[in-house]
Amino acid sequence: MKVSTTIKDNFGIIKFDVDKILGIEAGEFQKSLVNLLDKNIKNIIVDLSRTKFVSSWGIGMLMHGLATTKNHSAEFRFAGMNEVTAGTLKIMKLYPILNIYDSVDEAMK
């Protein structure tokens, strides 16, 4: 599995257990996300602490997750994003619309 999911308090945490997100994880990610939303989890945290690189397909997959979450009136947060990924999102002008936190613990506050 490239994606693991846990529920802590009222937060669903989706963690990528790979160094690179290339987009091939989309099915597993979407299934995990929908499963949490179906359980009425309204706060989704995507833990990128293990990930060093996100491809453009991976970014598209994450943005689709953001839209899916918003369509369910839920909150979508990123935690543990490295500087390379953050820089890419800034270049793409996506950074200002995202909720980004240094850690999962910080995202849960």
For 34-74, write each residue's pLDDT tens digit: 999 999 999 999 999 999 999 999 999 999 999 999 999 99
Number of H helices, E strands in the chain: 4, 7
Six-digit token string for 51:
């990930």
Q: Are 59 and 78 in contact (CB under 8 A)?
A: no
A 10 A CB-CB count for 24 gives 15
pLDDT for residue 1:
73
Kindly list the structural domains of the chain, giving each domain's residue range(s) and its CATH number in brackets, ordered by start. Answer: 3-107 (3.30.750.24)
Read off the pLDDT of each residue in 4-8 and give the average, rounded to a whole number.
97
Close Cβ partners of 65 (under 8 Å, ≥ 6 residues apart): 29, 30, 33, 44, 46, 76
Q: How does pLDDT run across 66-104, given as a tens digit for each residue?
A: 999 999 999 999 999 999 999 989 999 998 899 999 999
A 10 A CB-CB count for 83 gives 8
DSSP β-ladder status, 3-8 and 11-16: antiparallel
pLDDT for residue 95:
86
